[in-house]
Structure 1
Amino acid sequence: MNDCFAVMDLGTNTFHLMIARVTDGHFTQIARDHEPVKLGEGGINKGFIQQNAFDRGLATMHRFSLQIKQYNIQRVKAIATSALRSAKNGQAFIDNVKEQTGIEIEIIDGLQEATYIYQGVKASGALTDDKALIMDIGGGSVEFIICTNNTMLWKQSFEIGAARLIERFHQVDPIPHQSITALHNYLGESLQPLFEAAQGITVNKLIGSAGAFETFAEVIELETQPAFDVKDIKTYNFDIDHLVRITDVLIASSNKQRQAMKGIISLRVDMIVAASIITRYVMQKLDIKQVSMSTYSLKEGVMAGLAQ
C-alpha cells in the first residue's frame, strides 16, 4: 500500500493511530486504533512519566508498530505533545520506542500542535468565513485558535490540560464549589492572553476539537438516539441549552454517576468534569452562543498536510 500513510498522535491521555490512503490530495481512513495510555497519570505536574505509564506507552507503540507492518506502510509520522514535551524522561521514552520498534517520534511545540489542530478542523468542514474559536482540550495542554476557513488570526497553547487540572483542583468528588471557584480564578489568570486576543474580534462560534466535545455530543444524543455513534460524523452542532444542561449535570456529578452515563468512555469519567468547567468558563467570558464540534483533530491535520 504505497499510497498509504500512518499517523500517530501520542497525547497525554491517549495514543492514536490512523492509517489512511491518499488520493489526489485527499485522504481516506482505512484503519484506526487508540489506547488510553494515561501517560501523565501520577506525574503530569511533576514533569515525569511514572514507570507504569511508561510501560503502557511502550506496549501501545509495539502494537501500533505491528499494525503498520501488517498494512506494509512505509511512510510513518509519530507526533508527541504535552506529556512527552514536558517530561524529564520524555527523551528516554522516545529513545526506547526508536530502539524497540524503529518508529521515530517527533516532539512538537504548542504552536505547531495548534496549527495541526486547525488543519484537522478545517478538513472536517466545520469552518466557514465567519470568525470562530477552536478549542482542543487535551490531558496536558489546551489549544485555542481564532480563525476562519482561510486563515489563522491567533493561536496559543496553554499547559492547563484536564489531567493537570484534576491533580490540582479535583481531589474530592463531586468537585466542591470552592474548588470550582479556585479553578475559575486560575483560568482567569492563565487564559488572559486569549481574552486579550479576542478583544475587538467578534467570535461568534466555539468549535470543540474532538475529545471532550465528542463526549458531550454522545451523552446528549444517546438520551434519545440509542444508535448514535460520534464516529459516524465529522461535525456536530450543539443545541446550546442541551450543552449547558449536560455540562451542569457533569460538573455536579459523582464518579459513580458519570460511570453509569451512556456515552462517557472510562478515560473521560474524571477528565470530563474539568473539560466541562473550562468549556463553560470560556463560553461565559466570550459570550459565545453557538457551539459545534469537529471529530477531526491533530492526527487528521497531520494527515491532511501529508496528503497535500
Structure 2
Amino acid sequence: MQEFTTLAAIDLGSNSFRLEVARIVDDQIYPLDSLKETIRLAGGLTPQKYLDEAAQHRALACLQCFGERLRGFPPHAVRAVGTNTLRVAKNAAAFLEKAEALLGFPIDIITGREEARLIYLGVSHRLPPTDEKRLVVDIGGGSTELIIGSRFTPHETESRYMGCVTYSQRYFPDGKITRNALNSAELAARTELRNMAGDFSSPHWRQAIGSSGTARALAEVLEANQFSSGGITTDGLAKLRAELLKAKDSKKLNLAALRPEREPVIAGGFAIMSAVFAELGVAQMTISSSGLREGLLYDLLGRISRHDTRDGTVRQFMQRYHIDREQAMRVEELASALLEQVGEFVSLDMDAAQQQLGWAAKLHEAGLDIANSSYHKHGAYIVGNADMPGFSRTEQRSLGLLILAQRGALGKLQNRQLDTRDWALILALRLAILFYRSRTDIPLPRFHLKWRANTFALSLERCWLQKNRLAETMLKAESREWKNIGIGLKILPFGTPNEHLTALETA
C-alpha cells in the first residue's frame, strides 16, 4: 500500500464547506492548512427537496477553490464527504457530477450514523484516553449527531434531522424571534430526542462534549458575555435565551463574540442545544475543536496503513449473518486470481478493485441467513441498506450491486451504468462461485481470463472439463447469459501448453 506524508479531508456540510490538510508523522496527524466557506447548502433546499441554483452556484464556486488547493494530491490521499443536505436532496446526483469535476476527487455521501462515527473518531483522538464514557454532540446545519463512546470506540450512535440552518429557517424566518417560535423549536427538538433519551441520558456517560460550529459559537458567546465561566452550561443557556427574546431579531442581537456568519442560524442552533440539555440531562458541556474533518483524516490514515474500519465491519457482518467462512475464502481467492488476470486488459485501480471484490466474496452469502430463495437479492438489500461503519452510500450500493449480480440473469443489470471494470468484477465473482459450487476444495484447472473487443475469453484445461461435466454445462450456460446482454464470454479448452498459447493469442 502506498504511503503518504500529507492527507486532505473535505466536509461538505449543510452550513459550511471545510477543507483540512494535515501532515502525517508516526501515525499522528498534524494540521497544515485549512479553508472554510459558509455555503448554507441546507438553506437552498426547496420544500420539494431540490437544491436551488443559488446554493449550487455557491457550493461549486467553493469546490473549485478547494480543487485548486488540492491540485497534485494523489487520489488516495484525499477524501470528500457530503452530509445531511446531500443525503436528502433529490437532485444530489446531478449536483455531485459537477462538484466532482471541479473538485477533482470523488465525493462520498455518508449516512447519519457513519457521520456520527467519524465525528467521534475525530473528537476522541484529541482527548486524553479514558475508559469513562463520553457524550459527544454535533449540531450541524441539517442534522444533529449524538455519540456515546469511550477511548476511540463509539458504543451508541444516532443522527436526527434537525440542524441550525433548517431550524432557523423553519422557526425563525428572516431572523424574527418570538417566544412562541422559540418554544415550538425547543419542543420539536425535544420530541426528536425523546425516543433515544433512555440510552443517551446522563446516567450513561460522565462527560458531555460539543464538537460542531454551533457548539463552539454558543460557548464563545456565553463566555465572552460572562454567561458562563467555561463551556456551555444550563445557566448560561437560560441567560442567552433571555437575550434572544429581548432582541426579537437575530440581526439586532448585541452579543460579544457572535460572528456575522453565525448570526442568522444562532436561534436554531440554540433551540436544539437547549433541547439536548433538557432531554438528556446535560448540566455542563466542554468544547472540542475536532470533529468530522479530523475523523475523516484518521479514518483515511487507517485505510492507507491497513487498519481499515471497513474490513472490521465486513468481519462483523460475516459473524452476524453466519457466513460460511471457508466457502467465502475459497471464492475470494479464486475471484481475486481471475481479476488479476483480466486486469492486464482492463483499466482499473487493482488495489481498490481487489478490495471491493474481496468484500463482495466475503458477504455474497449474507442473504442465506434470511432465505435460500433469492438469497442474492436479500444479501444485496442488506449490504445496500444496513449501517456499515466505514462505508459510504456509494460504496454500499456498489457492493450491493456485485452481490446482486453474483447469480441469475444478467439482464437485471442492463439499465445500470456499468463500465468494463464493473463487468470484470462481476464475472470474476460469478465464475469463482460457479467453480466452487460443490463448496469443497476441489482441484482447479490451469486457466487464464482476458478481455478484448467486448469479449471475455476464459481458456482452461480440456481434460478438467471432461472430468467435470457439470462445470462445463454451467460454463456454457454462463456464456449464453453474457451473450444475452451483448457481451461475449468464450470458453476455450486447451490440451497442451502449445494449445494454451494458441488459445490466448486467438481469443
The TM tier, using the shorter chain, reads 0.7 to 0.9
Q: CA deviation at 1:271?
A: 1.3
1:199, distance to aligned residue in structure 2 (A):
5.8
SS in 1 for 2:41: coil
Aligned twin of 1:160: 162
Measured after TM superposition, the shift of residue 120 of structure 1 is: 1.0
1:3-38, Cα deviation, whole Å (9 max, x unpaired)? 101110000110000111111111111110010111
Q: Match of 1:233?
A: none
Residues 292 and 73 (structure 1), Cα distance of their counterparts in 2 relative to 1, 3 Å cut: same
In structure 2, the residue corresponding to 1:160 is in which secondary structure? Answer: coil
Task: Specify the SS of the correspondent of 1:16.
Answer: strand
Which stretch of the first structure deviates more once superposed, 214-223 or 288-297? 214-223
Match of 2:301 in 1: 307
Question: What is the aligned partner in structure 2 of residue 119 from structure 1?
Answer: 121
Residues 294, 45 of structure 1: alpha-carbon distance in 2 compared, 3 angstrom cutoff? farther
1:219 to 213, 218, 221: 221
Say whether residues 1:290 and 2:267 are aligned partners: no
Map of 1:232 onto structure 2: none
Correspondence for 1:93: 95
Distance 1:252-1:82 versus aligned 2 partners, 3 A rule: farther
Q: Quick one: which of 3, 6, 14 aligns to 2:5?
A: 3
Alignment partners' CA distance in 2, 1:289 and 1:161: 21
Give, in angstroms, the shift of residue 200 of structure 1. 8.8
User: Is the 1:138–1:211 contact (alpha carbons within 8 Å) kept by the matching residues of 2?
Assistant: yes
Q: Which structure 2 residues correspond to residues 83-232 of structure 1 after superposition, within 5 A?
A: 83-125=85-127, 128-171=130-173, 173-198=175-200, 201-223=203-225
More strand as a share of residues = 1
Give runs of ≥4 in structure 1 deviating > 6 Å.
none
Once the two structures are superposed, residues 182-208 of structure 1 have per-residue CA deviations (whole angstroms, 9 ceiling, x without a partner) of: 223322322223213236943343211
CA gap of 1:60–1:126, structure 2 versus 1, over 3 A, is: farther
Q: How far apart in 2 are the matches of 1:15 and 1:201?
A: 35
Aligned match for 2:66, one of 64, 67, 74: 64
Q: After superposition, what is the alpha-carbon deviation per residue over 1:104-135, rounded to whole angstroms, capped at 9, x for unaligned?
A: 11100101000000011101216743322211
Cα 1:100/1:183, change in 2 over 3 Å: closer
C-alpha separation in 2, matches of 1:129 and 1:66: 42
Query: Aligned to 1:263, what secondary structure does the other structure show?
Result: coil
Give 1 or 2: higher helix fraction.
2
- Which stretch of structure 1 is more off in the superposition, 145-154 or 8-17? 145-154
1:170/1:134 Cα in 2 relative to 1: closer, same or farther (>3 Å)?
Answer: same
**Match status 1:38 vs 2:55:** no
2:73 maps to: 73
* Counterpart-to-counterpart distance in 2, 1:12 and 1:21: 27
Structure 1 residue 237: deviation in Å? Answer: 4.3
Please tell me the residue identity of whatever aligns with 1:256: K
How much does 1:250 deviate? 4.0
* Number of residue pairs aligned between Structure 1 and Structure 2: 294
1:228-243 equivalences under 5 Å are: 237-238=231-232, 241-243=235-237
Distance 1:53 1:150, change over 3 A: closer
- 1:231 is aligned to none
Q: How big is the alpha-carbon RMSD for the aligned residues of Structure 1 and Structure 2?
A: 2.4
CA distance in 1, matches of 2:199, 2:213: 24
Q: TM-score, normalized by length of structure 2?
A: 0.54
Structure 2 residues not aligned, in runs of 5+ = 303-507
**Corresponding residue for 2:15?**
13
> What amino acid does structure 2 have at the position aligned with 1:135?
V
On the 8 A contact 1:174/1:252 being kept in 2, the answer is no
Quote the Cα distance in structure 1 between the aligned partners of 2:245 and 2:283. 20
Larger Rg belongs to:
2
User: In structure 2, do the counterparts of structure 1 residues 242 and 161 end up closer, same or farther at CA, with 3 Å as the change threshold?
Assistant: closer
Inter-CA distance 208–44: structure 2 relative to 1 (3 Å threshold): farther
In structure 1, what is the equivalent of residue 252 of structure 2? 257
Instruction: For residue 21 of structure 1, give the secondary structure of its aligned residue in structure 2.
Output: strand
1:205/1:252 CA distance change after superposition, 3 Å: farther
- The secondary structure found in structure 2 opposite 1:154 is strand
Alignment-mate amino acid for residue 265 of structure 2: M
The amino acid that maps onto 1:97 is A
Q: What SS does the corresponding residue of 1:271 show, helix, strand or coil?
A: helix
CA–CA distance in structure 2, aligned partners of residues 80 and 160 of structure 1: 16
Following the alignment from structure 2 to structure 1, what is the Cα–Cα distance between the partners of residues 48 and 260? 24
Aligned AA (2:271): I
Question: Equivalent residue of 2:195, what SS?
Answer: helix
Secondary structure in 1 matching 2:169? helix
Partner SS, residue 20 of structure 2: strand
**Aligned amino acid, residue 219 of structure 1:** V
Larger relative contact order, structure 1 or 2 (CA cutoff 8 Å, min sep 6): 1
Residues in 1 aligned to 2:46 and 2:28: alpha-carbon distance in whole angstroms: 36
Give the secondary-structure state (helix, strand or coil) at the position aligned to 2:264. helix
Which runs of no fewer than 5 residues in structure 1 stay unpaired?
225-235
**Deviation for aligned residue 1:140:** 0.8
Go from structure 1 to structure 2 and tell me whether the alpha carbon gap of 1:12 and 1:44 turns closer, same or farther (over 3 Å shift). farther
Q: Deviations over 1:156-193 (max 9, x none)?
A: 11111122212221126442111222223322322223
1:24 matches 2:29: no
TM-score (norm. length: structure 1): 0.87
- Give, in whole Å, the separation in 1 of the partners of 2:193 and 2:233: 26
Match of 2:264 among 245, 270, 289: 270
Shift in CA distance, 286/101, structure 1 to aligned 2, threshold 3 Å = closer
Distance of 2:124 and 2:21 partners within structure 1: 19
Take 2:237 and 2:222, find their aligned partners in 1: how far apart are those partners?
8
Alpha-carbon separation, structure 2, partners of 1:280 and 1:200: 15
